Structure 1
Amino acid sequence: MPARSVATPPELPGFRYTRLLGSGGFSDVYLYEQDLPRRLVAVKVLASEELSDTSQAAFVAEANLMAQLSAHPYIVTIYHAAVAADGRPYFVMEYCSGPSLAEQYKRAPFGVADALRTGVRVSSAVATAHAAGILHRDIKPANVLTNSYGWPALTDFGISSAVDIELPSNTTTRDAATAPTAAAAATATGTIGMSIPWSPPEMFDDHPQPDVRSDVFSLAATLYTLLVGHTPFEVPGKPNGTVDLIGRIERGSITPITRTDIPRSLVSILHKGMAPSADDRFATAVDFARALQRVEMELSYAPTAIDVPNLTVLERVHDNEAAEAGAATRIRGVASVEAQPVAPPDAASADAAKDRGAELGADPTVIRRMPSVQPDGNPAPSVAAENTVIRPRATAEVEQEPTAVPAPRRRLWPVLAGAAGVLVLGGVVSSALLLAPEQPDAALAPTPSATSSLVTLGVPTPAAVGVTPSADGTSVTFEWENPEPQDGDKFVWNRSDGPNRGPKTPTGSTSVTIDGVDSNTQVCVEVLIVRTNGKLSTEPLEMCSK
């Protein structure tokens, strides 16, 4: 099928056409200059050949989805949508002047630090979409642009899926199975589009049932591509057509990474993110981002903030009604909770949580106050303060078995499509974290009965046992204990006193001795608990000799 010719840009009041930015199977993107306010903008216009009711509905759906997420720093902002005088729908977006991630990795693979930082930021964007009840379903380097600040900006929600709408079965043509590349397959469309090199195996089922873990797969595949310079299931020097790639994806045959500067911990994270079974992947995009943060800390980099607006604790639970109806799982819109003081939990509550087998959550996440999407049209409660930091401490996350999905009777070779698919997603509900602003003056602090302590989830902080200097003052021994020990727990410690701050050192012991110290100098150490799953104490224990 010959490529579609680029249409003439439409005349838009208040905008002046500058040049073509790009063209796809169903739309063209042009650069315009807006008169007021004066700025360059990208305008996406539906191709005149695609003015069917279905295509127009899909185009409008993309604009509406992007509008819900536009306030996020790592998602392309949409400014306006309308229909041009010639009848073509269009929407006006933020112009991202930098190269896409695809252009960047093709010039040269990313350094580890840049890849980790980009991975956390894009994961933040994807997690924000998930919290709003939206799957992206086409995460790949070409769909992550770079804005004028050099930040990644996720775009192209053209095949994204909204909440609580049935997902149609995948349909194919004979051409799709023999298409040599994903690009060629785009001309043989079904009802579900995808970019094969970054797609999870469940998308190739006869009746695809993607969920948030499907986007996690594509996130991991994208990060692999940035680091290695080619897609994860592409084997240099061997056939890499559509059929070859699908077979490797379904088998989990990831091409080995040969770069020696990439830590094994990061390789393991990428493999887990691209596990053939969704049950073996990270449960959420936030979990994937936190794993990347741990690698940053392992390499002594400052962890990149996970920016998810009004983040609450997302617990995966069964939706009994949906299960009885034979549905898969679904995402519900995340409701924000107004900040308010909370009293500390009593001992009985804490014991009850332990009896339920609750698993403590993960690392702290920086929250930036931004508009959130409210389910069922309810108004959004106010948020107490901007840039609030959640410091998990007492609330527990309840374990949940993943919803079983019936095995498909057969598999069909997939195709890429521009039409929007929609889906039913897996049971996620929001439980509330109560946030309270820090008091600027200690004299104004509330009494213990009405404390505004921040609620925390996470691995507990070690408890100090004692600090013992030697008789001659040339060494100091620090001892601690694990308040909630679990099998396989270990510790990491480092010196934290001024210029002597040292690297993190793992240990299985509950004590460490620092030799060669000056008896007149204060010596301090920080200690964290490390779980077998890689989770760390939310806050370190710090002990000092004086």
Structure 2
Amino acid sequence: MRLGSGSEADVYLYRQHVPNRKVAIKISKQRLDSQAANRLRSEADFMGRICTHPHILSIYGSGITATGHGYTVFEYAPGGNFKAFLEHDRLTADQMLTIGIDLASALFTAHRKGIIHRDIKPSNILINAQHMPMLADFGIAGTIYGGPGVGFTVAWAPPEVLANGGGGNEASDIYSLGATLLAMVTGQSPYEYAYADELGNSRGKERSERLQFIIMAKPLPAFHRPDIPAPVERVLHKAMSPAPEDRYFSALEFARDMQRAQLEMYGHTACTTIEGEADIPADVATNARLATTTTPATVESSRRSLPWTKPPVIALAALAAIVAIASGFLFLIAPHMDTTSDDRAAQVSGSGPGGKTSGRNNGNVPDSGVVAGSVPQVRGLSGAYNAAGTKATFSWTNPDPQDGDVYAWTIVGGTDESASSQTALTSSTSIDIAPSGEAHTCIQVSLIRADRRMSDTPAMACAIRP
């Protein structure tokens, strides 16, 4: 089944035989010359260095077919992408901040490895089976020190990239992420939204040229929308400052300011997922009584397991053990994936601006689409201390209760390594925990069916000591 088509490659949905799973395969339309083969290897190398992050699309393998066509095998994201989502829906500012903190964590992880994305936009933010936002399409990525990739998309590119005809750095990626996040609330890129009258009904190349001129010549205006509070607009404006030196110094700094704005306006904040960095900055943890995540009704952003790695799948073994499931890597399209899926409900189609492939799984599939037979994540996980600070109570709901359901929960984070390694089972949808001396207590919870199938991604929430 074809998922999408661009100027250089097609993307297909296949079912891999071993391990048995759906995958998305990007296959070049033409036989590859040496330069194109180098680009293919570059994309695979870039993705392989960073795709352990829970909000970066995984790559399973890459190679050249017997006929000289290049292919890359990716994690399949059945929820489509945010370009398709924005054609029929919007996020609230609160929901947008949660997604933004997720994506800024992923972007900082890439930047720390020396990788610049160069083309962040809604069509390159995919939605996986657990409704998590996934940064994808590093096909034009390059290293901070120079390398492949000069492309961009006008609506999401900062003025300096448009002036130079391509390229970019950490600051330009931060701009593009800010523009993408604003569109999740408004439905349009910032300058298309603010200067709609000047763009009029122009189409195609004419519209692109007008928009490019506006971005380079016009100021970024205030938006004055009641659904975007002033602290949130301030954060987005800083990320999209016309001058690169006025933007956030790093994607981590951007994430931290989003956490502060979310706490100020909504009384809670999402956690970052960055190796070696605190989930919640000290100033936020000090002022917050509760830190948990916001899950949009339409784009449910799955919460954390261990920071900086793909959330592990926990399984029962004699009702106690945790079994780590290792990712399989695919190096040949045939014979292991010689049949396409017949799951029409998962079909995604379409392409990005200019006919370019805009994501691995582009199209209009609702974000509610999941792989058949998957176990849902628990919902509404939250936690709070009692007034004395002697007990933390966590509760959640089961979106699809069935006979025999139980829940595996684990304390995560903190300095107590033994606590982080112990998993307990409960049939209840709430637990009480006697906390350690940490400033906050975080847990992850997974739903387990009677047949031992388990939700692919645990939910996570933190309670902050009063």
**Inter-partner Cα distance in structure 2 for 1:206 and 1:99:** 32
Letter in 2 for 1:275: S
Structure 2 residue 13 is the aligned partner of structure 1 residue 31: yes
Partner of 1:309, secondary structure, is: coil
Which residue of the other structure, out of 127, 133, 153, is the alignment partner of 1:152?
133
User: Does the 8 A contact of 2:414 with 2:438 survive in 1?
Assistant: yes
Letter in 2 for 1:216: I
Partner of 2:142, secondary structure, is: coil
Letter in 1 for 2:163: D
Change (3 A) 1:269 1:143: same
Aligned to 1:293: 259
Letter in 2 for 1:289: A
User: Does the 8 A contact of 2:25 with 2:71 survive in 1?
Assistant: yes
User: Which structure 2 residues correspond to residues 181-220 of structure 1 after superposition, within 5 A?
Assistant: 192-206=150-164, 210-220=168-178
Regions of 4+ moved over 3 Å: 163-167, 205-209, 360-372, 415-419, 539-542
Structure 1 position 161, deviation (Å): 0.8
Change (3 A) 1:56 1:440: closer
Structure 2 residue 187 is the aligned partner of structure 1 residue 229: yes
User: Which structure 2 residues correspond to residues 162-311 of structure 1 after superposition, within 5 A?
Assistant: 162-165=143-146, 192-206=150-164, 210-234=168-192, 235-239=195-199, 241-254=207-220, 256-311=222-277
**Inter-partner Cα distance in structure 2 for 1:232 and 1:238:** 13
**Inter-partner Cα distance in structure 2 for 1:113 and 1:260:** 13
Which residue of the other structure, out of 33, 37, 43, is the alignment partner of 1:56?
37
Structure 1 position 417, deviation (Å): 11
Superposed CA offset, 1:66-115 (max 9, x none)? 11112111111111112222211111111000021111112122112221
Aligned to 1:22: 4
Change (3 A) 1:540 1:251: farther
Structure 1 position 292, deviation (Å): 1.2
**Inter-partner Cα distance in structure 1 for 2:75 and 2:166:** 32
Partner of 2:191, secondary structure, is: coil
Partner of 1:30, secondary structure, is: strand
**Inter-partner Cα distance in structure 1 for 2:438 and 2:465:** 18
Change (3 A) 1:209 1:83: closer
**Inter-partner Cα distance in structure 1 for 2:102 and 2:123:** 16
Structure 1 position 302, deviation (Å): 2.3
User: Does the 8 A contact of 1:251 with 1:276 survive in 2?
Assistant: no
Superposed CA offset, 1:180-212 (max 9, x none)? xxxxxxxxxxx7210111101111234866321
**Inter-partner Cα distance in structure 2 for 1:220 and 1:242:** 20
**Inter-partner Cα distance in structure 1 for 2:6 and 2:21:** 24
**Inter-partner Cα distance in structure 1 for 2:10 and 2:276:** 34
**Inter-partner Cα distance in structure 2 for 1:436 and 1:96:** 32
User: Does the 8 A contact of 1:194 with 1:417 survive in 2?
Assistant: no
Structure 2 residue 88 is the aligned partner of structure 1 residue 110: no
Structure showing greater Rg: 1
Structure 2 unaligned segments of length 5 or more: list them.
Answer: 286-290, 292-303, 311-352, 358-412, 420-436, 440-462
**Inter-partner Cα distance in structure 2 for 1:63 and 1:439:** 34
Change (3 A) 1:297 1:282: same
**Inter-partner Cα distance in structure 1 for 2:414 and 2:98:** 29
User: Does the 8 A contact of 1:306 with 1:367 survive in 2?
Assistant: no
Aligned to 2:363: none
Change (3 A) 1:81 1:273: same
Superposed CA offset, 1:141-162 (max 9, x none)? 0000000111101110011112
CA RMSD of aligned residues (A): 3.6
Partner of 1:48, secondary structure, is: strand
User: Does the 8 A contact of 2:9 with 2:28 survive in 1?
Assistant: yes
Partner of 1:265, secondary structure, is: helix
Structure 2 residue 25 is the aligned partner of structure 1 residue 43: yes
Structure 1 position 418, deviation (Å): 7.9
Partner of 2:196, secondary structure, is: coil
User: Does the 8 A contact of 1:252 with 1:274 survive in 2?
Assistant: no
**Inter-partner Cα distance in structure 1 for 2:355 and 2:115:** 18
Structure 1 unaligned segments of length 5 or more: list them.
Answer: 1-18, 168-190, 313-359, 373-414, 420-434, 442-452, 456-538
**Inter-partner Cα distance in structure 1 for 2:355 and 2:141:** 12
Change (3 A) 1:207 1:28: closer
**How many residues are paired up?**
306
Change (3 A) 1:367 1:163: farther
Letter in 1 for 2:235: I
Aligned to 1:401: none
User: Which structure 2 residues correspond to residues 88-487 of structure 1 after superposition, within 5 A?
Assistant: 88-165=69-146, 192-206=150-164, 210-234=168-192, 235-239=195-199, 241-254=207-220, 256-311=222-277, 368=306, 370=308, 437-438=415-416
Change (3 A) 1:134 1:109: same
- Normalising by structure 2, report the TM-score: 0.59
Letter in 2 for 1:236: A
Aligned to 1:78: 59
- Normalising by structure 1, report the TM-score: 0.51
User: Does the 8 A contact of 2:154 with 2:162 survive in 1?
Assistant: no
User: Does the 8 A contact of 1:63 with 1:91 survive in 2?
Assistant: yes
Partner of 1:31, secondary structure, is: strand
**Inter-partner Cα distance in structure 2 for 1:367 and 1:99:** 23
**Inter-partner Cα distance in structure 2 for 1:103 and 1:249:** 24
User: Does the 8 A contact of 2:144 with 2:169 survive in 1?
Assistant: no
Superposed CA offset, 1:6-60 (max 9, x none)? xxxxxxxxxxxxx0001112111100011111111000112216x2221221111
User: Does the 8 A contact of 1:119 with 1:292 survive in 2?
Assistant: yes
User: Does the 8 A contact of 1:81 with 1:92 survive in 2?
Assistant: yes
**Inter-partner Cα distance in structure 2 for 1:159 and 1:46:** 15
Structure 1 position 165, deviation (Å): 3.5
**Inter-partner Cα distance in structure 2 for 1:367 and 1:41:** 23
Identity of counterpart residues, as a percentage? 30
Larger relative contact order (C-alpha < 8 A, sep ≥ 6)? 2
Aligned to 1:343: none
**Inter-partner Cα distance in structure 1 for 2:8 and 2:222:** 36
**Inter-partner Cα distance in structure 1 for 2:224 and 2:165:** 36
